[in-house]
Chain A
Amino acid sequence: MTDYDAVIIGAGHNGLVCAGYLAKAGKRVLVVDGRSDPGGCASTREFSAGFQVSDCAQWLSQFDQSIVKELDLKGNGLRLGQPKCTISLQPDSDHLIVDGDTISGAGVDSADQAAYRDFKKMVAGFAKLMTTLYRTRPPKLVEQNWTDRLTLMKLGLGLKLLGRERLRDLMRIVMINIYDVMNEHFSHSALKSTIALDAVTGTNMGPRSPNTVYSYLHRATGEHLGQSGTTQVMGGMGALGQSLAGAAEKSGATLKLSSRVSAITKTDDRVTGITLDSGETVSAKIVVSSADPTTTFRDLLGYDQMETGMAKRVEHYRSRSGTAKLHLALSALPTFKGLEATQLSQRLVITPSMDGMEQALNPMKYRELSTLHTFDISIPTIEDPALAPAGQHVLSAIVHYVPYAPDIGWETGKPQLLSQLISELETYAPGIGKLVMASELVVPSDLEASHGMTGGNWNHGELSIDQALMMRPFPGSTQYATGVEGLYLCGAGAHPGGGLQGLPGRNAAKEILKRGAL
C-alpha cells in the first residue's frame, strides 16, 4: 500500500488543478511545494512593508472557464476585477487605445481600424481551432488510437470550416514571425508593436524571431478560454492559488507546503515516490510533476535514471526567458501624461517600434543590458486598494529584453537596470521616480530561483512549434506520460503550455484517470 495514489510536485496553478480533479475522482492526492503559499506563479507577496504584489503573473486572461466551474473556484473565493482595455503609451501623449476589436487614438486611420477588425476576426478563428486542441490531450500522429483520431477529425473539420483563404493564411503565417505579419496587415507603427508585444513577452524572442506568430496565437486562445478579457484577481494573483488550493483540499487532497522535493524516487524500472529535502520519503502509485521538464527530469529524477535519448532531449529543450518583473511601492498615484486617473487601472503598455524591439533583443542575446524595453504595466491598487497602505500604490510591470545572466553580473547590473527602467518610465510618467518608496527588480534568474522555473521561463519551455502540441515537451514524453513509468507531467511544460490557463493540469488529470493509472 502506497502512502498516496498520486503525489503532485508543485502547488502551482496546474498542480492544484490536477490535484483538484484527481481528488474529485476519489483519489488520494498529496501536493508538495517548497514555497509557503500555494499558487506558484499565481502568488501574492509583500515585497515591501504594507505593499503586496502579484509577484509573477499579474493578469488573468486565459484561465479556462470550465475549470472555474468544475472546481467551483468562485465558491472558493475567486473574485475577478473589471475587464481591462490596453492603452499603449506614446511619447507625445496621444495614446493608442485597444478595446476588444476597436482601436482609437494615436492618429490611427480608418484603414488600420478596419484592418484591425479583420485581423482580430482571423485570429479569433485560428484561436478557436487551437482551443479545441488545447482542451484535449495532443493527438499522436503515428500510433493513432480512436481518441487521437477523433481529435484529429475535429481538427480537420475545424480547418475545413475556416475556409480556403483562412486555411491558406494559417498555413502561411504559423511558422513565420509576427514582424512580417504585422507589416502585412497594418501601417501604424505603434499598433504593430503593441500587438507584437504579446508575441514576445515571456519568451526569449524578438518580433522577427520565427515562432512568434505561434506564441501570439497561443495567447490569443485566451479569448476563447477565459471569456472575460484581461482582468486582475482581487487580492492579487495569490487569491487564485488560494481558491485552487481550497478546491483541491475540499475534494480531499492534502497540501504539504514549505517542503521542497529533492528527488523523484525510482525503484527498479518505475517511479515510486518522492524524497523531500528533510529526508522524508513519500510513496505513491504515480508521481505527477508540475515542475518544468528540465527541473523534473534533470534535477529531480536525474539523467542517470533515464535512457540516453531522453536525457539528450531534456538537454536540448529550450527554456530561457528575457522577461523580468518590476515592482514599485509608490507614495501616491503617479501621473501619466495624457491619461485620466481613472484610466490608470487599465493595462498600460510601453513599447519601442518593432525595429526598436528587435534592436533591444541584440544586447539581450549577447548578455548585455539593453537601453530599450517593453513594459506591460498594472497598477492593481486602484481597483484593489487593500494591496497597499491607504493612498499609496503598487506598480507592477512585466519588462521584456532582460538578459538571463549579463556579463557584468546582476550585483552591478540590477541597480543599473533599475534606474534605466525608471528613467524609461519617466518619459511617460514624469516624476514617478520621486514617488518610489521601495522597489524590487525580479530578473529571470530570480524567477528561476523563487519559482523553480528553469531559465525563469514562465511557459516552462519556449513556446515554439517544435516544442508544442504532440511534441511538448519532447517526443517520447507526450500526452502527460513520460519515458519513465509512473511519472507524469501536468505543468506548463506539457501540452498546451504556459500562461495561467490550467489546461495542462486538467488534461493531465483526465488522461491519468482515463488510463486507469490509479
Chain B
Amino acid sequence: MSDVSRDTMLLTTPFHSRVEAMCDLNDWGNWMGYTTPNAYFDVELEYFAIRSTTGVFDLSPMNKYRVTGPDAQRYLDRLITRDVSKIGVNRVGYAIWCDDNGQVMDDGTIFRLGEQDYRICSYQRADDWLAWNTLGFDVTIENESAAVVGLAVQGPTSCTVLTLLGCTDLNQLKPFGIAHYTFEGRPMMVSRTGFTGDLGYEVWVPPESAEALWDQLFELGRDYLIKPIGSHALELARIEAGFLQANVDFMPAEEVVRVGRTRSPFELGLDWLVDFKKPLFNGRSALLKEQEKGSRYRFAMLDVEGNKPAEHSFILKGDKQVGTVTSAAWCPTAKANIAYAQIEMPHGAVGDELVAEIYYQRELHWTRLLAPCKVIDAPIFKSPKRWQTPAPPH
C-alpha cells in the first residue's frame, strides 16, 4: 500500500467522516470549495425521504457572518433590500442584497440573535463586500463559517426526531423562529428554516459537536426513516418548492464579467423583498429607476407539458426566442414538469402560453421536442405542514 497523502484541494466539513461512511455511491461534488455528496444511495429515494420522512443535508459550507455592534441593524438595513426591523429577536428573515446598480449579489438568511446581534447566512463568500459596508457604521463583522456548522433536517418526521434529540417543545416553534438548546454541553441552535418547502429545521452547532450530532440523529431517527440526502435530491425539492439558487437562477452581480448578465430583484420575481419605504439601501435609486422605466426580464415558473425536464431550453413565443431556462425538473410529488425561466419583457406574465424547445438524448439518439408550457403564479408544491404551528404530528 502506498502512503499517498489524502490531502486534496477541496476542504471537507466536520461531518465528513460520517458523510463519507454513508456515501454508498461515492459520488462527490465541489460545493463552494468543499467535498460534498451529490447523492448518497439513490437520488429519488433521498428526495422521498425529504417529502415522506426526514432527510439530512450537511450545509456547513454555507458562509456565516456575525454582525454585532450598536449600528448592526442600521448596517443591515442599508445592506439588504427588505426592512430589517421587522425581523424580531430569535427570528430569521430571507433576504437579498444588491450592488449600487440594483443587481442581486446574493440571497441568504438573516438570523436575529439579539437586539443588535445578527448572523448572515449566505451562499457566496461576502467578506469583502460586508467589510466595505462597515464604512460609517459602528459594527463588527466576524466570519463564523468555520465556527458554526449545520445540518438541514427536513421532512414530516423531522420535528419528532429532533424532539427525541432533546429539542423540547420544538413543535411550538413557528416558521422562521429560532430556539436554543444544549447538545452535550455545547450550544445548539435550531431554526425552523429550510430549502425544501416542507416542515423542516436547520440545526447549528460548533464543529466539535458535529460527529456526535450526526451519530445521535441517525440513531434516534432510525425508526422515523431518517436518510442523508445529497445536493441532487435537494435540488429537486427546491425547484418543486419555488426557491432560487445563486449561480444557477441568477449570477451573483460581483462575479459577472459580461455586460447585462446580472439581474435585479424585480427580474427574479423578488419584488416582495424590496421595501422602498426605507430611505436608503444599496440599489435603491437604481431600482426606483427600474420601477419607473420597466425591467428587461421577468422571472417565470413554467408548467411544461410532458415529462422531459426542460433543462437549458430556449423558450419561444411563436418563432421568436424570448427566454431561457435556468432550472428544470420533473417534480415527483407535485407530478409536474417545472422550469424556471428568464423571459424577456413583455412576455412571461402569469398565464402566458409559451413553448419550451427541449433537446434530450436516448441511446445517442437526440430528439427535439417543442413542449407547450404555461406561466404559473406560484410554486407547484405547497405543503401546509410548512406553516403549521404546532408542527403537525406525522
Name A's B-contacting residues (CB within 8 A).
266, 268-269, 302-312, 315, 476, 483, 485
Contacts and interface: CB of A to CB of B under 8 A. Distances in A.
9 contacts: A266-B279, A269-B280, A304-B71, A304-B135, A307-B78, A307-B284, A308-B78, A308-B79, A485-B285
Contacts of A315: 135
Contacts of B281: 307
A311 B135 contact: yes
Nearest to B129: A308
A312 B280 contact: no
Interface in B271-300: 279-285
Contact of A312 (B78, B135, B284): B135
Contact of B74 (A304, A309, A311): A304
Given A269-B284, A309-B99, A304 B78 contact: yes
Contacts of A305: 136, 280
Nearest to B79: A308
Contacts of B284: 269, 307
The residue among A302, A308, A310, A483 with the most chain B CB atoms within 10 A of its own CB is A308
A312 B132 contact: yes
B137 interface: yes
B279 to A, nearest CB: 4
Nearest to B137: A304
Given A303-B136, A304-B78, A476-B100, 8 more contacts: A303-B135, A304-B71, A304-B74, A307-B100, A308-B100, A308-B135, A309-B99, A309-B282
A309 B100 contact: yes
B143 interface: no
A302 B101 CA distance: 20
B133 interface: yes
Contacts of B133: 308
A483 B100 contact: yes
A237 to B, nearest CB: 36
Contacts of A269: 279-280, 284-285
Contacts of B137: 303-304
A364 B73 CA distance: 43
Contact of B282 (A266, A308, A476, A485): A308
Interface size class of B (residues with CB under 8 A): 20 to 34
Nearest to A476: B100
Contacts of A302: 136
A483 B100 CA distance: 10
Interface string B128-147: 01001101110000000000
Given A269-B280, A304-B137, A311 B71 contact: no
B67 to A, nearest CB: 14
B12 to A, nearest CB: 34
Nearest to A306: B280
A308 B71 contact: no
Interface string B97-112: 0011100000000000
A6 B280 CA distance: 23
A22 B101 CA distance: 32
Contacts of A310: 100
Contacts of A312: 132, 135
A160 to B, nearest CB: 29
Interface in B109-137: 129, 132-133, 135-137
Contacts of A309: 99-101, 282
B137 to A, nearest CB: 6
A307 B279 contact: no
A307 B136 contact: no
The residue among B99, B282, B284 with the most chain A CB atoms within 10 A of its own CB is B282
A309 to B, nearest CB: 3
A268 B283 CA distance: 15
A124 B89 CA distance: 67
Contacts of B136: 302-305, 311
B280 to A, nearest CB: 7
A218 B280 CA distance: 37
Contacts of B285: 269, 307, 483, 485
A308 B128 CA distance: 12
Nearest to B101: A309
Nearest to A303: B136
A311 B131 CA distance: 12
Given A304-B74, A309-B100, A310-B100, A268 B282 contact: no
B363 to A, nearest CB: 51
B132 A268 contact: no
Nearest to B98: A307
A158 B281 CA distance: 43
A485 B282 CA distance: 14
Contact of B132 (A266, A304, A308, A485): A308
The residue among A268, A302, A307 with the most chain B CB atoms within 10 A of its own CB is A307
B351 to A, nearest CB: 35
Contacts of A311: 132, 135-136
Interface in B34-61: none
A308 B279 CA distance: 14
A63 to B, nearest CB: 36
A308 B78 CA distance: 8
A315 B134 CA distance: 12
A268 B71 contact: no
Contacts of A307: 78, 100, 280-285
Contacts of A304: 71, 74, 78, 135-137
A315 to B, nearest CB: 6
A306 B282 CA distance: 8
Nearest to A301: B136
Nearest to A310: B100
A268 B277 CA distance: 9
A374 B185 CA distance: 71
A263 to B, nearest CB: 13
A21 B219 CA distance: 81
Interface string B53-86: 0000000000000000001001000110000000
Contacts of A266: 279
Contacts of A483: 100, 285
B292 to A, nearest CB: 14
Nearest to A485: B285
The residue among B99, B129, B284, B285 with the most chain A CB atoms within 10 A of its own CB is B285
Contacts of A306: 280
A17 B132 CA distance: 36
Contacts of B101: 309
B138 to A, nearest CB: 9
Contacts of B280: 269, 305-307
A317 B128 CA distance: 18
B201 to A, nearest CB: 33
The residue among A303, A304, A311 with the most chain B CB atoms within 10 A of its own CB is A304
A485 B285 CA distance: 9
Contacts of A268: 279
Contacts of B283: 307
Nearest to A269: B279
A304 B283 CA distance: 14
A425 to B, nearest CB: 44
Please list the 3 inter-chain residue pairs (A to B) with the smallest Cβ-Cβ separation, ordered nearest first.
Answer: A303-B136, A309-B100, A304-B136
B165 to A, nearest CB: 41
Interface in B293-316: none
A399 B281 CA distance: 45
A450 to B, nearest CB: 26
A358 B225 CA distance: 76
Interface in B307-355: none
B311 to A, nearest CB: 35
A303 B280 CA distance: 12
A303 B74 CA distance: 12
Contacts of B79: 308
A307 B281 CA distance: 6
B256 to A, nearest CB: 15
